[in-house]
Amino acid sequence: MSETTGARAVFRQAGRGDLNKAAQIILAREQGDLELIDRKTFNYLLNRAYGQLQRGRDEINRVPVADVLDYLGHSSTDRLHESLSRLGSVNILIDYVDDTGVHHSSQARYLSYDVARAPDGWVEFAFDALLLRFLHNPKVFATLSLSAVRRFKSAYAARLYEIMALQLNKRFPYWETTIDAFREVMAVGSGYNRYDNLRRRVIAMAVDEVNEVAPFSVDVEDVRSGKGGRVVALRFSAMPKGPRTLRGLTEASAPARRGGPGWRDPDTIDLLQGTTDAERDPLGVSAETMRAAAEAVGDTGSLDAHLEEWRERMRGRRVPKPDQAFMTWLEIRLAKLAGAELKVLDDDTISALVEQWEGAR
């Protein structure tokens, strides 16, 4: 492998994974027309340059044009150059509190430097000096998935995703905002003056797309001025997807009736394997499931330890679909360890509920 090829491989790997984005930048108010491609481009460039950021240094970064276009799903360099131009020219207002507790609202731009047409196939850029105060090791931030950012088709949904990702890990994961503040933060402008149009064309569509793309779900409710009064604010709430709540788990855990949909006789002989469910290893987990489980566990613990504990908890229980049962148990187990709502349940109760839930599927 040539030195150039090896360098390009490192660059491509650097554009994957997650991005920590400061709260001040997520909630910045944009004073101009920015498009969805601009948000995707900025997040991608920030991800690529994050490891080399130094607070207060106006450093020029370089990224291959081909890599940026590949992430954006575009082949036109013209669109990329236009996006870089907007990121370097549209003003944004950043609200923050300094070390002495004084509130500030300062004007900045996403990028302070760009080369519209790099002759050697590289994009050169630098972040605005004010942004550098927040970009590197931010105190309050949201963790964004680069793959999720890439999938958004609506600028409103992409913006709402970032805002709700910021709320997700808070003790009270919600964002309450007035209608006017919502319009400003979401850059709605003067459009959709009637609330019913704003609700249908912006709020509902953004919530639906976030729920489809993001690894968490979002709900929204109207806040009214008194009983039956007009809507004066919006309250968005976020929660992880999956069986994270006792209510959600128990509603799905009603066992299937004998002979009904989803029921399988454990003594039925499998025509391909010539054995029954009861005769085969009831706790066998496939290699594919183990790979998915390893990704879910990450660096939070030992996968082998989780698998061994699951086997011990489920020993003697009917497990017709061990792959599904293990992943369901692991998801709930990790949520409990993270301090989620299921922390109130003991492990035996979780195992029993998983057995019933998987048996009903």
Give domain limits for the chain. Answer: 1-147, 152-241, 246-359
Among residues 311, 293, 289, 312, the alpha carbon closest in space to that of 301 is found at 293
338 vs 228: CA distance, rounded Å: 39
**What proportions of the chain, in percent to the nearest 5, are helix, strand and coil?**
45, 20, 35
Q: Is the dihedral of CA 153, 155, 156, 158 positive or negative?
A: positive
Would you say 134 and 196 are in contact if contact means Cβ atoms under 8 Å apart?
Answer: no
Residue type for 106, please? S
**Both tokens assigned to 87:** 């990121």
- pTM of the full structure: 0.65
Confidence of residue 153 (pLDDT cuts 50, 70, 90): very high
Which of 246, 242, 253 shows the shortest CA–CA distance to 330? 242
pLDDT for residue 28 is more than 90: yes
Domain 152-241 maps to which CATH number in 3.50.50.60, 1.10.10.10, 3.30.110.40, 1.10.340.30?
1.10.10.10
| Joined tokens for residue 312 | 């011990």
Q: What is the mean pLDDT of the chain?
A: 77
Confidence (pLDDT) at 83: 92
pLDDT band at residue 317 using 50, 70 and 90 as cut-offs? low
What sections of the chain are H helices per DSSP?
3-14, 23-26, 36-49, 65-72, 77-87, 132-135, 146-151, 155-167, 179-185, 195-198, 204-213, 246-251, 287-297, 303-314, 322-337, 347-359
Q: How confident is the model at residue 307 (pLDDT cuts 50, 70, 90)?
A: confident
Q: What is the per-residue burial (b if ≥16 Cβ within 10 Å, else e) of 271-306?
A: eeeeeebeeeebbebeeebeeebeeebeeeeebeeb
pLDDT of residue 254: 39
User: Do 1-147 and 152-241 show the same overall fold?
Assistant: yes
* CATH number for the segment(s) 1-147: 1.10.10.10
Highest mean predicted confidence (pLDDT) among 88-97, 157-166, 214-223, 329-338: 157-166
Give mean pLDDT, residues 267-285.
54
How does residue 59 score in pLDDT terms, banded at 50, 70 and 90? confident
Residue 207's pLDDT band, with cuts at 50, 70 and 90, is very high
Greater confidence, 324 or 10?
A: 324
Averaged pLDDT, 129-146: 87
pLDDT band at 359 (very low <50, low <70, confident <90, very high): very low
Q: Which residue has the higher pLDDT, 63 or 324?
A: 63
Q: State residue 250's pLDDT score.
A: 41
Q: b vs e for 182-217, b when ≥16 Cβ sit within 10 Å of the residue's Cβ?
A: bbbbbebeeebeeeeebbeebbeebbebbeebbebb
Residue 259 has pLDDT above 60, yes or no: no
Token pair 């491609």 in the structure block, residue: 37
